[in-house]
Chain A
Amino acid sequence: MKYVDEFRDGTLARNLARTIAAAVEAGRRYNLMEFCGGHTHAISRYGIADLLPEAVRLVHGPGCPVCVLPIGRIDGAIHIARKPGVILCTYGDVLRVPASKRTSLIKEKANGLDIRMVYSTLDALKLAQDNPSRMVVFFAIGFETTTPPTALAIKMAEAGGLANFLVYANHVLTPAAIQNILESPEVRELGTVPLDGFIGPSHVSTVIGTRPYEFFAEEYQKPVVIAGFEPLDVMQAILMLVRQLNTGRFVVENEFSRAVSRDGNTKAQALVAEVFELRRVFEWRGLGLVPYSALKIKETYGRFDAERHFDVPEVWVADSPACECGAILRGRRRPVDCKLFGTTCTPDEPMGSCMVSAEGACAAYWTYGRFRSMGGG
């Protein structure tokens, strides 16, 4: 497969591993956070951690869209789905995320609510067209990658005069989450989460470009290397980070230049800016309330906004006390630190959001069984 196989070559991977091992300086630690859940998945799937020298420690970040969705917002979706005449639709992973009172969208579906899985916002629009007597609500989640498709769907609904299509918007922003982590006491003062640099997200960066990271690199003096999803991409990015740290540099570099530019996808950005505006504050699972970290539908497109339409209650629900997802999403803990990991909590019966999607750290550890990092890397 073009653009895939050549980026998975085992011989080159081992050579890259040797180059990294030769590049690390004696007695030095390199704590690198992969922000994106897609990278967490790739690292587990290809056993990248096993190829790295002891000095390089990968810290999993909060970039798994399903994992950071707080319980209150899922409860909000269930609240909407209970309204008469509503069809609630969303991406597959979301259905199994635990809500409060031990329920989830999939359990509510089994109990008779009309909740459906869609692959794309175009499917959601089609559902509305095919069911004119019903109100179709798209439960929109995700980072900058899924936001433009939602914005485009709203524009298309407007152009097509679709009166039975609403969006429950839960789109969140990557730079705000990175800043939240860098500002957290664990990183800033306590030093309990040492962080030396970031492996920047692949797809998010195709949309936002590399420019938004320049601020972090400069302000917090942490290098950022945008990396593709294939194992060689991730390893090359690690090598570039190690080299920057060795020479005391902290700039944004782009390993994924075949798909990411400095400015990103300006057409998609313009669409998002037309339909959405910043929320003053938004709750993230694990990170808590993060200022200006999410988007809501603008007044001009208010008639497509499910929150305005249904008066969805804004509730804050605490996570299950035994689930360590919050600490994992902040880089403080690892999945194997959780007592429920692999016993009470598995992908078939997830107790927390990190066990739901393939990009969640707990699910990635469970599926690929890479527990080398158990000893702290």
Chain B
Amino acid sequence: MCLAIPAKVIELLPDDMARVDLDGVTKEVSLGLVEDVALGDYVIVHVGFALSKLDPEEAAITLALFAEIFESLREPVAVTP
């Protein structure tokens, strides 16, 4: 039940609803629990409701963190104290 993937908002509909793209499948979900969601935003959907918006900057920071680990493994000398 908790399993979910980020969905992209592709159309804003009346009554706080939106059409989202979930890996190629479109679905109507409610935006009734979130604020300020715009077209093109990614949201986390759970049982038909968007629960939160994905922050692209924070996602990039987390990914950079993984990559940094990767870099530090390739160049072990570059580790700072």
Contact = CB atoms under 8 A, between A and B. Distances in A.
Partners in one complex: yes
B68 to A, nearest CB: 10
Contacts of A228: 62
Given A3-B42, A142-B1, A119 B48 contact: yes
B48 A121 contact: yes
Given A1-B5, A255-B62, A146 B42 contact: no
Contacts of A203: 2, 4, 44, 46, 51
A271 interface: yes
Given A152-B30, A206-B52, A2 B42 contact: yes
Given A19-B69, A146-B1, A149-B33, A207 B6 contact: no
A267 B72 CA distance: 41
A371 B42 CA distance: 36
Contacts of A357: 1
Interface string B1-38: 11111101000000000000001000000101111000
Contacts of B1: 65-66, 91, 93, 142, 146, 357, 359
A260 to B, nearest CB: 7
A120 B1 CA distance: 11
Interface stretch (A34-42, A127-135, A190-198): A34-42
B47 interface: yes
Contact of B48 (A16, A66, A120, A267): A120
Interface size grouping (class) on chain A: 35 or more
Contacts of A9: 66
Nearest to B53: A259
B39 to A, nearest CB: 15
Contacts of B6: 2-4
A229 B4 CA distance: 8
A114 to B, nearest CB: 21
A218 interface: no
A158 interface: no
Contact of A38 (B3, B8, B47): B3
Interface in B56-72: 56, 58-59, 61-63, 65-67, 69-70, 72
B67 A12 contact: yes
A255 B35 CA distance: 23
Interface in A134-178: 142, 145-146, 148-149, 152
Interface in A253-272: 255, 257-260, 265, 267-268, 271
A6 B63 contact: yes
Contacts of A121: 47-48
B75 interface: no
Nearest to B27: A119
Contacts of A16: 66, 69
A145 B2 contact: yes
Contact of B62 (A146, A152, A236, A239): A236
B27 to A, nearest CB: 9
Given A203-B2, A203-B44, A267 B34 contact: yes
A18 interface: yes
A281 B51 CA distance: 27
Contacts of A15: 66, 69-70, 73
Q: Give the top 10 A-B pairs by smallest Cβ distance, nearest first.
A: A120-B48, A38-B2, A206-B52, A258-B59, A258-B58, A3-B6, A257-B58, A268-B33, A149-B49, A206-B51
Given A3-B42, A268-B33, 14 more contacts: A3-B54, A4-B5, A15-B70, A16-B69, A19-B73, A146-B46, A203-B2, A203-B46, A233-B62, A259-B44, A259-B53, A260-B52, A265-B34, A265-B51
22 contacts: A11-B70, A12-B70, A16-B69, A19-B69, A38-B2, A38-B3, A120-B48, A121-B47, A149-B30, A203-B4, A206-B51, A207-B51, A207-B52, A232-B66, A233-B62, A258-B55, A267-B33, A267-B35, A268-B34, A271-B33, A359-B2, A359-B3
